[in-house]
Every structure is written in structure tokens, then in C-alpha cells.
Chain A
């Protein structure tokens, strides 16, 4: 018998639905912003691993300052850039908890550089999710340390001139050189296959945290259509063409057995 559409929408045929670990609040992000997908992948991993009762997330300052409104796990919100310090304190007091930070590139790679590097160098047993959209999204698209050479932003209207403004910072490669990090990877969420890989990477990172291997660090190269002044679909294309050559995707460091 031929199946009609009515026959298909049944609970046993369900293949994808937003996880209950995302609250029902409307995300405060612009249309097409990668933050939403990255939040959801983190929560899917926590749900699949059954860690929702014991997870503590740290929200940053930046567009994702309200992450605690959207992720349905225990959360704290840190002062700008201080998420790894807060995570350190929480993890040391509650070593059995699963602790992660969620930070933008302005938060993690500018004002929070010291906290990031030292937490990684101490090998704190935490997971850091680093959302790199090459710009300060929340405050109006100013240049970030990660802004590409020649890339326009509100403070580099003619493009980033590396002679005057320095070079884009590859934070992920930098922390990979530190002995405290166990797993360091760079992923993206612009395509379904990339999203699935990001999810796998977050899962591995949490597993390494559970095995007390040290700091796990996941960069997710993401878009900022508002800051980049493009449509979301254009922004994802621009990201593939311009961000990925400088910020190549893939694992940078994996734990030795």
C-alpha cells in the first residue's frame, strides 16, 4: 500500500526533533547565526551521554551571554573572558561534575587570553567551546584578534592592515602546543555533515574530561551575518572561501593512549 504523508508523521518515524535540553525560549540570535546550532549540539551530547543532572556550563560575555536562558542545564555567567577561571573553580570544587565553557573569540582570544592560556596550561579538566566568527558580534562588529587580514569590520573599514593592527591569532593552534591540553580540534556548523562532526568532537571532548585527560578545546568557526553585513547563506559561503583556508578544519591534537 502506498504511504501517504499522514502515515509518516508518527512517533515511531521521528528522526529529528530539537532536544529537550534546549529551552523553549526564542534564541536571541540573528537569523542564521551559528550560535544556535552550536548550543543545540552541546545539549544533544549532554543528553545522549545522560549528563544533564551533573553538567555545569559557563556562559561568556558576547552575543551568547544569555546561553543560560537557552541551555537547560545548570549554568553560571562569567565576567568577560573569565569563563575558564570560573570553570576552574567549579571543577576543582566539584570534580565529579561535567564542566564546559562557551565563549566567543572576543571573549576567549582578546580580553580572556590570559585565563584561556593558563587554564589550558594547567590542564584543567574542563571542556572549552570556542565560537570563532572573526568579529565582536554583540557590540557592533568591531575587529577581533581573529579578524582575517584584509577583512572589513566596523573598526577596520578598509580591511585589517596587519602592519598597524597585528596578525589574526590562531588561538587553537596556540593552545595545542601546551602540555595541559589533551584534545584540540577545529570544526564548523555551516553544513549538515560539518554539524555532525562538531557534535562528535564535543562528545569526544566530554569523554576525555570524564577520563581526566586534561583540557579539551573545540573551536567552531562560525558566521556573523550581521557583523559581516551579508545574508546568512552568503555568510556561510564567505566563511568557506575565506575563513577555512586560514582556519582549516580538523583535529589538531589528540590524546596519546
Chain B
């Protein structure tokens, strides 16, 4: 398995399901909208693969600032 480079954390309750992050992610099939909804009824974004490179594009464009990004150093 390839080395994992990045990881994200989503504040599920704060996500409004706008999908702007999905459009901004440079690595296809890394993040997607969950089939499940949060308590407000929004489908929330989730990481679906270990392909995240920690570029933070998703977090920067997220209007609600609900994504935290980590990237392996070195």
C-alpha cells in the first residue's frame, strides 16, 4: 500500500453539504458526500480513500470552515 500523505477531519455537524470541497480536491475519489445526513439534514462530506495529499484546498474553499487538514512532514 502506498504511503499515506495527508488526512482530514470534518466537523460533521457543521457541514452544510454544499459540495464545494469535492470540486476543489485535486485527487479524484478522495472525498465524497456521505449517504448519511447530520442532525440538520445535510449530507456531509467524508474521506473515502487514503489518497489525501494534505494540500488543504478543500479546507480553504469550505465556506463554513469545518475541515481540518494534516500532512505528514518530511
Contacts and interface: CB of A to CB of B under 8 A. Distances in A.
Interface string A1-41: 01111011110111111100010001101111111110010
Interface string B1-27: 101111101000010111110111000
Contacts of A8: 4-7, 54, 70-72
B9 A9 contact: yes
B16 A32 contact: yes
A147 interface: no
B9 A32 contact: no
Interface string A215-257: 0000000000100000111001000000000000000000000
Contact of B57 (A27, A33, A192): A192
A232 B3 contact: no
B31 interface: no
Interface string A174-193: 00000000000000011110
Main secondary structure of the interface of B (DSSP, over half): loop
Contacts, number: 104
B63 A191 contact: no
B56 A15 contact: yes
B72 A33 contact: no
A218 B56 CA distance: 24
A9 B61 contact: no
Given A32-B16, A233-B23, A18 B65 contact: yes
A15 B4 contact: no
Contacts of A9: 7, 9, 70
Contact of B68 (A5, A14, A189, A191): A14
A29 B71 CA distance: 30
Interface string A34-53: 11110010000000000000
B46 interface: no
Interface string B22-60: 111000000000000000001000000010001111011
Interface residues of A, number: 39
Given A2-B3, A8-B4, A9-B7, A236 B57 contact: no
Q: Which among A22, A26, A32 has the highest number of chain B CB atoms within 10 Å?
A: A32
Contact of A36 (B5, B24, B63): B63
A16 B60 contact: yes
Given A8-B70, A8-B72, A13-B73, A32 B4 contact: no
Interface of A: 2-5, 7-10, 12-18, 22, 26-27, 29-37, 40, 189-192, 195-196, 225, 231-233, 236
Interface of B: 1, 3-7, 9, 14, 16-20, 22-24, 42, 50, 54-57, 59-73
